[in-house]
């Protein structure tokens, strides 16, 4: 290690202060163990075990873990899978179960954070063997060296890190609650008549006093609904940005395919501008996005462009198309035996329930504010994680 030792600190080997648990169970179910954890249940960067399997469903795992012990994935260590168990269970052989040897030498609360350091994972990855599924081993991990502070400082460091984790957890819960609120508000504002949800006519869930127009009627007549470039060709660095299905989940600021100007020039009809609504019409049906301000480009054959007219708000149309009841309605018009498709003809004839433009804007304002709150909570959570990472790097 390159960092100089601080006063009172000492350099130790991981294996001198940490023990690999060898507790096993030949019959977990008979011993009252109900849950098992595999590598797939551990999330990178998350110290909580949030999912598990049921032993009663059948499992061959025998490694036993208890609350407070640290679980670390030894296969594909670059995935950085570390968690602290808060229940008893058995785990995969690709997971090491660790605990401190002596709490008067290394406080248990600090161990998972040591296992999250860049230095620890660099060592784990560097000592892994195997090409397709590299694994580290305990003997190599035990040789990892790090600087260990005195117990009082360990306690302080662990306490601060735990508080940061607790803050991040509360923000996660707040974001989840906000997402749930968004879903409930969407249904309450767009589809309040849910007693009709199982009717043959999916549109009955929408307010009875809303107007009904076809999609073609709501879109501008000078920009007919159309799909995009049939064959986008190879990537051309100087070409035209071309939106595909995979891009609909973002804001188009990431890397997009670029179609050569020669190919794109034949598809002037499908060029997009800010405020246009894009919907996927092949393979994956009904993914939706609104073209952001200042973006210009074109779309692929798998997308259709809707250019809303004066009677419909782009944001409202996006929310409606994304809503579960309307997606259910769209499914009635999807065809294809091997690959789903919503034809342009069917898309034009879709019935679109909509209130007055003022009501549309009010609905959009409420739902966008709720969505923005969820985004802000996630940003705050990310900042909390970054703070913990910086503090951990400097403290240990």
Q: Decide the pairing of beta strands 35-37 and 89-91.
A: parallel
**Span 290-311, pLDDT tens digits:** 999 989 999 999 999 999 999 9
288, two tokens? 């939706």
Region 170-185 average pLDDT: 96
**Span 200-228, pLDDT tens digits:** 788 999 999 999 999 999 999 999 999 99
Region 164-190 average pLDDT: 94
The confidence score (pLDDT) of residue 130 equals: 86
Q: How far apart are CA 277 and CA 305, in angstroms?
A: 6
pTM of the predicted model as reported, rounded to 2 decimal places = 0.77
Q: How far apart are CA 149 and CA 151, in angstroms?
A: 6
- Is the per-residue pLDDT at 238 higher than 60? yes
The confidence score (pLDDT) of residue 388 equals: 82
Region 342-355 average pLDDT: 96
Region 56-68 average pLDDT: 94
**Which DSSP string corresponds to 227-291?**
E-BS---S--TTSEEEE-GGGTTS-S-S--EEE-HHHHGGGGGG-B-TT-EEEEEESEEEEEEEP
CA quadruple 49, 50, 55, 60: dihedral, nearest 10: -50
Q: What are the backbone angles phi and psi of residue 14, rounded to the nearest 5°?
A: -55, -45
The confidence score (pLDDT) of residue 391 equals: 81
The confidence score (pLDDT) of residue 372 equals: 95
- Is the per-residue pLDDT at 258 higher than 70? yes
Is 378:95 a contact under the CB 8 Å cutoff? no
The confidence score (pLDDT) of residue 307 equals: 97
Question: What mean pLDDT value characterizes the chain?
Answer: 93
Q: 45: helix, coil or strand? A: coil
- Is the per-residue pLDDT at 62 higher than 90? yes
Who has greater pLDDT, 253 or 117?
Answer: 117
- Is the per-residue pLDDT at 90 higher than 90? yes
Q: What are the backbone angles phi and psi of residue 164, rounded to the nearest 5°?
A: -65, -40
**Span 324-337, pLDDT tens digits:** 999 999 999 999 87
- Is the per-residue pLDDT at 145 higher than 70? yes
Percentage of residues in the chain having pLDDT higher than 70: 99
The confidence score (pLDDT) of residue 198 equals: 77
* Chain centroid, CA 360 distance in Å: 29
What is the helix (H) or strand (E) element at residue 328, kind and residue range? Answer: helix 324-331
The confidence score (pLDDT) of residue 396 equals: 67
């Amino acid at each position: 290690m390159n960092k100089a030792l601080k006063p009172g600190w000492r350099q130790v080997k991981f294996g001198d202060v940490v023990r690999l648990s060898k507790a096993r169970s030949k019959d977990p179910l008979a011993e009252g163990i109900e849950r098992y954890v595999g590598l797939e249940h551990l999330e990178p960067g998350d110290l909580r075990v949030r999912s598990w399997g049921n032993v009663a469903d059948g499992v061959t795992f025998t490694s036993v873990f208890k609350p407070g012990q640290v679980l670390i994935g030894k296969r594909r260590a670059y995935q950085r899978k570390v968690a602290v168990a808060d229940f008893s269970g058995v785990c995969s052989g690709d997971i090491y179960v660790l605990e401190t040897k002596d709490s008067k030498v290394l406080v248990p609360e600090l161990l998972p954070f040591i296992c999250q350091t860049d230095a620890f994972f660099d060592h784990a990855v560097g000592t892994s063997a195997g090409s397709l599924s590299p694994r580290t081993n305990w003997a190599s991990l035990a040789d990892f060296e790090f600087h260990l502070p005195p117990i009082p400082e360990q306690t302080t460091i662990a306490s601060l890190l735990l508080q940061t984790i607790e803050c991040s957890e509360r923000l996660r819960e707040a974001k989840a609650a906000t997402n749930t609120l968004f879903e409930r508000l969407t249904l309450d504002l767009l589809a309040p008549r849910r007693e009709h949800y199982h009717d043959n006519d999916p549109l009955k869930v929408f307010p009875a006093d809303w107007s009904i127009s076809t999609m073609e009627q709501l879109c501008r007549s000078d920009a007919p609904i159309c799909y995009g470039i049939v064959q986008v060709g190879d990537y051309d660095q100087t070409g035209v940005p071309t939106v595909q299905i995979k891009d609909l989940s973002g804001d188009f600021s990431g890397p997009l395919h670029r179609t050569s100007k020669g190919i794109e020039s034949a598809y002037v009809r499908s060029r997009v501008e800010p405020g246009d609504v894009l919907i996927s019409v092949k393979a994956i049906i009904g993914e939706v996005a609104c073209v952001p301000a200042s973006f210009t480009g074109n779309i692929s054959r798998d997308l259709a462009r809707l250019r809303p007219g004066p009677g419909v708000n782009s944001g409202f149309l996006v929310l409606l198309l994304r809503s579960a009841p309307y997606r259910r309605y769209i499914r009635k018009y999807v065809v294809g035996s091997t690959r789903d498709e919503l034809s342009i003809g069917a898309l034009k004839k879709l019935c679109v329930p909509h209130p007055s433009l003022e009501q549309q804007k009010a609905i959009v304002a409420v739902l966008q504010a709720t969505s923005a709150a969820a985004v802000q909570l996630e940003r705050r959570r990310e900042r909390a994680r970054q703070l913990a990472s910086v503090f951990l790097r400097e403290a240990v």
